[in-house]
Chain A
Amino acid sequence: MRANPKDVNTGVYYIDGDVASGYGALAAGCKFVAGYPITPSTEAAEAFARIAPKAGAMFIQMEDELGSIAAVVGASWAGVKSMTITSGPGYSLMMETIGFGAMLETPFVLLNIQRGGPSTGVPTKTGQADMMQSRWGSHGDYELIALSPDSPQELFDYTIKAFNLAERYRCPVMIMSDECVGHMTEKVVIPPADEIEIEPRRFYAGPKDKYLPFKPDEDLIPKMAKAGDGYNLYISGLTHDERGYPAENGGCQSVYTKRLVDKIRLNKDKIIELKEEGLEDAEVVVISYGISSRVAVRGIEMAREEGIRVGSLRLVTVWPFPDERIAELAKKVKAFVVPEINYGQIAFEVERCSHGMANVILVPHGGAGVHHPDDIYNAIEYARRLEGRVEGVIEQKTRLERLVFEERIKLSE
């Protein structure tokens, strides 16, 4: 389906990522955003609040993040595409209801503008340390989708994609952005509405009395109905059968809840999007996502100037993780270099999928800033020199670490 022209502010803009995501949400047909002020995601909520009324959309500021995400799940069941926007601490508060959303197979989008953590951390500066949380943060087993944009343009594009995936697979979709991309101002092109592909909600169309809210189609995804259409829906966070009725026995669990996991795992190939560059003859591959991939570009250039054959694999979808592609590459390359703004999260996934066939070098960064390209270059250079297989993830010592712990520079603002 094409986007509704009324929702699309076609044009060329010079805006930051937060605002771009607001435009993206509108273009995707989002009509409801609930949020709670939190630095550095507030601008995205403010942008949406400003532009929403004209597009017939609504913004409500709830009393906290627990309330925000609950309202979003509710709005989605009212048939409205909806989204919430938050950052670290708010994201942690949303964990219970993310599981609820997954259990109810509710399409919605969550925009997380990551900041330095843990806890209150550094609210005004960047981080990428919620990556594993986005996969594992709620209790119980479930699968969901997470995207990681690296520019304001991508925040626009992938917000639309997030809504499409949410509708297609009936699951929460996370946009794992960060403060840098959120506050980065760049050119953003909003195409005309007829060039924007929108996934409409798949509503049930059969006879009313035959409707089973959790009876899956062949692709394991059930059709939806919405509140107020006379279906007498019963939707519960308890383990439920096809009717949506609680069926708290092991059999029900392994049939119905397992499907929540399978519907993503088995459709993985359709969901995963990667951006690859220079992989054909690469001896070292930099695996990156989000803002780190922009810094990696410079490190890669530096290495290429030195004649090192470096490729780049950028994770656009971080979850589900591209296990097979990485295993394939591991057989061909010497090492993976993983720069991320945390002390090792996705690097462990890369280790897992490389099955001991390639070295994995982590370039960590604690947050509140981005890598120095030298660190990435040094890691690439080291990776090329390193002979043999080293077990486990190798943690690269960074410039920042030397500065802080060896040169003991004075800490002040």
Chain B
Amino acid sequence: MRRLMRADPKGVLTGVHSLNGNQACVEGALAAGCRFLAAYPIVPAIEAWEWFLERAKDVGATFIQMEDEISALAAVLGASWTGKRSMTITSGPGFSLMMEHLGLAVMLETPCVIVDVQRVGPSIGTPDRPAQGDMMQARWGSHGDYEIIALSPSSPQEMFDFTIKAFNLSERYRVPVMVMADREVAHRKEEVVIPPPSEIMVEPRRYYRGAKSRYLPFKRDRDFVPPMVDIGDGYRFHVTGLTHDDRGYPIMTEECQEYNVHPLVRKIRRYVDEIVQVQEADTEDAEVVIISYGAPSRAALKAMGEARRSGVKVGSLKLVTVWPFPDKRVAELAKKVKAFVVPEMNYGQMVLEVERCSHGRANVVFVPYEEKGFEDDLLSAIRKVCQEKKVREGIIQYHG
């Protein structure tokens, strides 16, 4: 059994605070034991690290503003290997610049957390407006094959909770974990309850405990996760972004590639059921289920209530973990419901996953973001889809 640890009280600001999402995220990180942040200024993520800087001196955490986002993530990886829980916070364009090092983090199996406060894209787009356009990028943005974990908070409280969860998952599976927030959540100020340290459970780093001479940096435990050591502990290990064997030494063959990379995928896919977390409301008797994540899930709940009052049996499935995607649960629901309605602040990303997992058994309606908000569109999309007699092929685009 894995043993969780209680949080270090130094990082926990117990109490009820009025915080915006960015600040709550930093509090979550500090509570989870994060002691290193490297970042580069970008709207709308910048308040997060201003807050971190403010708190760093009390907690004993280190902060550095690097020369760009590329180096910010590189520094985070370096710091993580010294045993410090590390993170970076960025937004769209910075996230794109981090893609190469996301792959390095995967290959070196380095625990770290990347917070992406999504803004409107592509390119520079509209820095001060919320979006959810980086969801697929979070899964597929770096070259080569790998699996990662991504969470999507919908409120400052969840920014706090999910950031702790992100650190825990990242230590547990030795993968970079992404917190896919958005400007809406990051700038919203709400009450955030920070529990006492004794109630915050933290996943400790899995350290190697055997004989020093026998240490192999990529020798996997049964669950495919290799235990780690810190720089400076005298193991004199070597790690490389090249395809490597248990010793961490490069071997350029297809056999070694299979040996190295297949477990990177497996260590997540095999434990999907442990990792995946969804929040369901009224799905038992639902005819229509709204599948949402992040900020739109607030509108989803409201629309659900409204629809129920008018007699339509609507349920809600909110994705806490966006990646890995809850394939099984969506497939299960698809057999029971008439339709899924998916609101997203983009032009159709996770809705493609919903389409994939519903295996043609339920209609899939996509509701894009409009200036006036989601609620009315969701309601009329639900009404419309209820009139569909059979399952239509492909995604039904809702036009407001």
- Report which A residues bind B (CB closer than 8 A): 88-89, 91-93, 95-96, 99-100, 102-104, 114, 116-125, 127, 129-130, 132-133, 135-142, 236-239, 248-254, 257-258, 260-261, 323-324, 327, 342-345, 348-349, 351-352, 354-357, 365-369, 389, 391-392, 400-401, 403-405, 409, 411-413
Contacts and interface: CB of A to CB of B under 8 A. Distances in A.
A238 B256 CA distance: 44
Contacts, number: 286
B121 A261 contact: no
B99 A119 contact: no
B259 to A, nearest CB: 5
B153 interface: no
Contacts of A348: 356
Contact of B251 (A236, A357, A403, A413): A413
Contacts of B102: 92
Interface residues of B, number: 79
B103 A89 contact: yes
Given A92-B141, A93-B70, A343-B265, 8 more contacts: A119-B108, A123-B242, A123-B252, A125-B252, A355-B393, A366-B257, A400-B258, A403-B258
A86 B142 CA distance: 14
7 closest A-B pairs by CB: A140-B121, A117-B144, A356-B359, A355-B360, A118-B144, A369-B254, A140-B122
B125 A239 contact: yes
A248 B121 contact: no
Contacts of A118: 103-104, 106-107, 142-146, 261, 264
A258 B347 contact: yes
Interface stretch (B132-140, B189-197, B311-319): B132-140
Contacts of B120: 140, 239, 248, 253, 257
Interface of B: 70, 92-93, 95-97, 99-100, 102-104, 106-108, 116, 118, 120-129, 131, 133-134, 136-137, 139-146, 240-243, 245, 251-262, 264-265, 327, 331, 346-349, 352-353, 355-361, 368-371, 393-394
B125 A121 contact: no
A253 B124 contact: no
Contacts of A352: 352-353, 355-356
Contacts of B133: 139-141
Contacts of A258: 347
Contacts of B360: 354-357
A70 to B, nearest CB: 12
28 contacts: A92-B142, A93-B70, A95-B97, A100-B124, A116-B257, A117-B103, A117-B146, A118-B104, A118-B143, A118-B264, A138-B123, A140-B134, A141-B133, A141-B347, A238-B124, A248-B120, A248-B128, A250-B370, A252-B126, A342-B145, A345-B145, A351-B356, A367-B257, A368-B253, A401-B262, A409-B255, A411-B253, A412-B253
Contact of B143 (A99, A130, A413): A130
A277 B256 CA distance: 35
Given A88-B144, A96-B97, A140 B123 contact: yes
A136 B141 contact: yes
Contact of A139 (B95, B108, B261, B331): B95
Given A248-B129, A250-B129, A99 B123 contact: yes
Given A119-B104, A121-B107, A139-B96, A104 B144 contact: no
B145 A412 contact: no
Contact of A413 (B144, B253, B346, B371): B253
Contact of B141 (A133, A251, A261): A133
B261 A366 contact: yes
Given A103-B123, A366-B254, A96 B93 contact: yes
A404 B255 CA distance: 6
B103 A140 contact: no
Contact of A392 (B252, B257, B331): B331
A353 B325 CA distance: 17
A133 B106 contact: no
Contacts of B242: 119-123
A357 B361 CA distance: 10
Contact of A95 (B96, B127, B256, B264): B96
Given A137-B140, A139-B93, A352-B355, A411 B256 contact: yes
Contacts of B129: 248-250, 253
A325 to B, nearest CB: 12
A247 B57 CA distance: 40
B136 A136 contact: yes
Nearest to A401: B258
Contacts of B136: 132, 135-136
B373 to A, nearest CB: 10
Contacts of B70: 93
B217 to A, nearest CB: 15
B155 to A, nearest CB: 21
B144 A327 contact: no
